Amino acid sequence: MTEELPTYILTLYPDPLLRRPSEPVSSFDDELEGVARAMLARMHESNGVGLAAPQVGLQRRILVMNPSGEEGDDRVLVNPEILERTGAETMHEEGCLSFPAVYAEIRRPDRCKVRFFSVDGVEHTEEFSGFSSRVVQHEYDHLEGVLLVDRMSPADKVRNKQVLQDLVARYQERRKREESPA
């Protein structure tokens, strides 16, 4: 059986779409399942460990992840809510598919307890720790319109200055092309 899945294009910084808070999902149907599978496909093609709906232009509270990179470890969290963040804060390098070639040491609590729905509409509460917890917190930020640059230390901002400026320049180029098609 072959199925047509949408092919998503990544939304890159500083596209304002990344700043819009996402809306809760209200219907758990085939369309949602298709979106989740297409998001997972995009994430794997881009060698990412997590992806949030705003990164493919959708203002919906959906995040997908596979922190281990192992086949069969794909996760989909719909309408996630972080109930609590606990544990020691740790620094770890993070990247983001919306910020190609940008890396920064980000401080986050080690554990988080999350309530979410699976694509079939079943409610779950799960505790994440270590790298999985970091991925959940990073992707959850996207649903709130919070980005890597907001959590970067001033030193990392300086270190990534050129790459960030290039991303802004490329975005402006794209906008210009869209506004005045040849």
- Rounded Cα distance between 121 and 143, Å, is 19
Burial class (CB in 10 A: 0-12, 13-18, 19+), 146: middle
Tokens read off for 24: 């809760």
Per the annotation, the verdict on 139 as an active-site residue is yes
Tell me the per-residue interface mask from 90 to 109 with Zn ion, x by CB under 5 A, - otherwise: ------x-------------
- Rounded Cα distance between 87 and 11, Å, is 32
**Rule CB under 5 A: is residue 58 a binding residue for Zn ion?**
no
- Between residues 62 and 96, which has the closer beta carbon with respect to Zn ion? 96
When CB distances to Zn ion are compared, the closest residue is 96
Nearest distance, CB of residue 13 and Zn ion, angstroms: 9
Q: What is the largest CA-CA distance in the chain?
A: 55
> How many residues form the binding site for Zn ion (CB under 5 A)?
1
**Rule CB under 5 A: is residue 51 a binding residue for Zn ion?**
no
- Rounded Cα distance between 16 and 6, Å, is 22
- Between residues 54 and 117, which has the closer beta carbon with respect to Zn ion? 54
- Between residues 28 and 44, which has the closer beta carbon with respect to Zn ion? 44
| Residues recognised as catalytic | 139
Site of interaction with Zn ion (CB under 5 A): 96
